[in-house]
Amino acid sequence: MFLRAGDYAGLRPAKYQLVKKTRCCMRQALCRTEDSEGNPELRSAGGIGEDAAVGLTLVDHPLAQHLLTSLRDSKTPPPVFRTLTKRLTLALVLEAVRGLPTKEVSVDGPLEDSQGILIDADLVAVPILRAGLGMLEAVTELFPEVAVGYIGLERDEASLEPQSYYRKLPPVRGRHVLVLDPMLATGGSGSAATAAVKEGNPSSIAFVCVVAAPEGIRKMEADHPDVPIFTAAIDRQLNERGYIVPGLGDFGDRLFGTE
Ligand code: PRP
Ligand code: URA
């Protein structure tokens, strides 16, 4: 039996254990199966380009958690916030691209030849404006050849529904797409952006965020069960204004100093 994201929405003790377990494992899907005795079981998540089971990966590397902790601090000013976001995104993306296709090659070394591996995939990064821009430079540094598309979405403050104001995507057919948005709150923006990317028939999509709320995970899992999510944190819930708590506030404002 598959467990649904809703099972950990309230962080009830039994299910919370699953999240905690996940924290101990660098790369585990959130418990989608039960073993033969009916006990919940963790299973590896699939990364971008990978055929394995998709799921949610909590990147619990101590450095990632260190960076996240500093991002949460309300005293962190925008210039530092931008640097920390980029560094944390490097850690998240390393996990998200783990499953990309590779090829074996021979290398002419200075002393002798050796066999090596090269990533053999055409990558596209799609930051969701504005806040996703803070994650883009990490990807362009890791993958200088990456193509970049943009999706502009802004949540309506009352309905919390994403309003689309910009879209410029390169061809994504047969390519591997990383959708970047630091906050997965209600999941409306993430889901809409993922749907927009899917129109172009990519080979795979991975959603990379900094903090995810149970509500957003549930929405993504319902709308896009084929898209793995990579996050540094699963926070408790949304507040009455649709902000993630504890979260880190309005990410875009903190990134661009527009508070
Ligand atoms: C934030 C964030 C996500 C969205 C998440 O953007 O960057 O895109 O909210 O919320 P959701 O999961 O409920 O859709 P916002 O709309 O504040 O725009 P901004 O990035 O321009 O600040
Ligand atoms: N957008 C943000 O920037 N922060 C939240 O907590 C939720 C949506």
39 Cα–ligand 1 center, Å: 36
Ligand 1 in contact with 134 (CB < 6 A)? no
Atom of ligand 1 nearest to the CA of 219: 12
Mean pLDDT of the region 255-259: 93
Amino acid found at 106: S
pLDDT of residue 195: 98
- Identify the residue with better confidence: 30 or 254: 254
Note the pLDDT tens digit of each residue in 22-81.
333 323 333 333 344 544 333 334 456 554 346 999 999 999 999 999 999 999 999 999
Whole-angstrom distance, CA of residue 150 vs CA of residue 128:
6
Helices vs. strands in the chain: H and E counts, helices first: 7, 17
Query: Got the DSSP string for 174-191?
Result: T-EEEEE-SEESSSHHHH
Give residue-wise pLDDT tens across range 66-119: 999 999 999 999 999 999 999 999 999 999 999 999 999 999 999 999 999 999
Ligand 2 mean position, distance from CA 119 (Å) = 34
State the Cα–Cα distance between residues 65 and 189, nearest whole angstrom: 24
Under the banding of pLDDT at 50, 70 and 90, the label for residue 259 is: confident
Residues across the chain? 259
Q: How confident is residue 231, by pLDDT bands cut at 50, 70 and 90?
A: very high
Q: Who has greater pLDDT, 194 or 12? A: 194
Structural domains in the chain, CATH included, are 5-100+121-256 (3.40.50.2020)
Tell which atom from ligand 1 comes closest to the C-alpha of 242. 13
Dist. CA 155 → ligand 1 center (Å):
6
- Chain centre to alpha carbon of residue 17: 22
Judging by DSSP bridges, how do beta strands 211-212 and 162-168 pair with one another?
unpaired
pTM tops 0.75, yes or no: yes
From the CA of 190, the nearest ligand is: 1
Handedness of CA 161, 253, 76, 84 (dihedral sign): positive
Instruction: Find out whether the beta carbon of 221 lies less than 6 Å from any atom of ligand 1.
Output: no
Interval 134-154 mean pLDDT: 98
The angle that helices 62-72 and 78-96 make with each other, rounded to 10 degrees, is 150
Q: Report the pLDDT value the prediction gives residue 21, as an integer from 0 to 100.
A: 33
37 CA to middle of ligand 1, Å?
41
Residue 124's DSSP bridge partners are: 147, 177
Residue nearest to atom 5 of ligand 2 (CA): 243
| Residue 35 confidence (pLDDT) | 41
Distance 115 CA to ligand 1 centre (A): 44
Are the beta carbons of 141 and 89 closer than 8 angstroms? Answer: no
Residue 235: DSSP 8-state: -
Do residues 196 and 167 make contact, with C-beta atoms less than 8 angstroms apart?
Answer: yes
SS3 221: helix
Compute the average pLDDT of residues 198-202.
Answer: 98
Which pLDDT tens digit goes with each residue over 158-199?
A: 999 999 999 999 999 999 999 999 999 999 999 999 999 999
pLDDT surpasses 70 at 17: no
